[in-house]
Structure 1
């Protein structure tokens, strides 16, 4: 792990400190845009930290990430780069959404998120989970998310403005409703969340809120009665939402605040 040694300067009272966390794999082609978007983010450098975990890439992502570190350090007061391989590779010709690999794939995604969280979080007030292949979001996104007053809040990830929901892990009503079903509403309660962009009060993580790498929440009535791939319980970001509910923390989605994901 590479990290700048000095702690970030104290933030002004009007700007809480935020840690941006990004797990990535085979993302070399997205790092330029990712860095550019962070560069235009309207948040003071001294109040922003950054943690990125790379795992199991075959496209030179780690080398590209290390090359980008100086530019990232200009944007954030503290930068932590983590290398953690899990030995997982999707078989050639198998799409990443193929049912037969989902339980293992989601388990490793959860483990990577938790590893990054435990190694990068220090004294920050908030954590912003941000996927590397989010290709556009408003420069004032942090102010708008924080202004809601919610402890866990999720913007609406789409591929094109006004289009269908891309991040369908953010749902309610036993996965029968996603954010596209609530257009026109300012905010909606979610039972599960996605990870494309997710703002979390950091103390919730410190109190034990993680991304379950195993099916979680069998006793919670808001899980799907029977998951089509692994039976009872929810995993990774969806399991995070159920665990938050079990801890007494409500997840919220903002149907009208859109961010854009890369085409796949």
Structure 2
């Protein structure tokens, strides 16, 4: 659904880092097409890295049609040379620092290359498979500078994105449903994350290295190193005086890996 935004609607840049995602592209773009936020205020930026399934070529084929519905569309490529070893799940502990450091770098590269005059950045993973068409309006309506919904595999089930937590990782969004529709967080996930763009301009990034040794919110088992990527983002936001928020009862669905 397309609406005329007029001067009141703030500009939003949707950013998605992509790797080996050709099987998700139809769903990803189909969901974007359902968004009710004014199209003349929406931009889209993509960065493809290290794919071997033809993802970048598929995105090049869509470039012409994506230039039309969005205020601005950019497609970037940056390979980092990291691939998960065969038969290893992406959550394997011994690979987490390298994997998430690479993801943090891809997010930062995309941010620095795609952000222009937008007031907001919406980080959106390519393998999110369902969310309400008015999700942007609902996130903006909170009035918070950093906020995200509850990403689950099944509606009403446990949170999929366990990078969003409080109390040093003891509480996740599924634990906080009874606390209300908007709850403070110490760390955030990146499946869908709305950020005031000026926070990024002020230096808030996704640390590609362990961050936050002096912050008491980091998890105890990381007391010797710090947090990385989206969790490092949450700790850095805290150091900058910006509170992170989550919406435990506003659910979006993630693809089943």
Taking structure 1 as the reference length, the TM-score comes to 0.93
Among candidates 13, 30, 33, match of residue 39 of structure 1: 33
Q: In the alignment, what sits opposite 2:93? A: 99
**In the alignment, what sits opposite 2:189?**
194
Q: Deviations over 1:217-258 (max 9, x none)?
A: 00000001222xx94200000000000000000000000000
Aligned to 1:225: 220
Gaps of 5+ in 2: none
- The answer to whether the aligner puts 1:183 opposite 2:165 as a matched pair is no
Q: Contact 1:225 / 1:232 at 8 angstroms: preserved in 2?
A: no
- SS of 1:87's equivalent in the other structure is coil
Aligned residues: CA RMSD: 1.3
Note if contact 1:38-1:75 (Cα within 8 Å) is conserved in structure 2: no
Greater mean alpha carbon deviation, residues 139-148 or residues 91-100: 91-100
1:239 paired to 2:207: no
Q: 1:166 aligns with which of 160, 164, 171?
A: 160
Match of 1:211 among 206, 209, 213: 206
Aligned: 1:157 with 2:148: no
Aligned equivalents of 2:228, 2:148: Cα separation in 1: 18
**Structure 1 equivalent of residue 134 of structure 2:** 140
**Cα pair 2:14 2:121 within 8 Å, conserved:** yes
Q: CA separation in 1, counterparts of 2:132 and 2:173?
A: 18
Q: Which residue of 2 aligns with 1:3?
A: none
Q: Find the aligned partners of 2:155 and 2:62 in 1 and give their Cα distance.
A: 29
- Aligned-pair CA distance for 1:70: 2.4
Report the CA distance between 1:211 and its aligned residue. Answer: 0.2
1:251 corresponds to 2:244? yes
Assess if the C-alpha contact under 8 Å between 2:213 and 2:224 holds in 1: no
User: Could you tell me the TM-score, scaled by structure 2's length?
Assistant: 0.96
Q: What secondary structure sits across from 1:75 in the alignment?
A: coil
Q: Could you tell which deviates more after superposition, 116-125 or 44-53?
A: 44-53
Matched position secondary structure for 2:68: helix
- Confirm or deny: 8 A CA contact 1:156 1:253 kept in the other structure: yes
CA distance in 2, matches of 1:140, 1:199: 14
1-structure distance, mates of 2:231, 2:6? 34
State the 4+ residue runs in structure 1 displaced beyond 3 angstroms.
none
Q: Distance in 2 between matches of 1:134 and 1:231?
A: 33
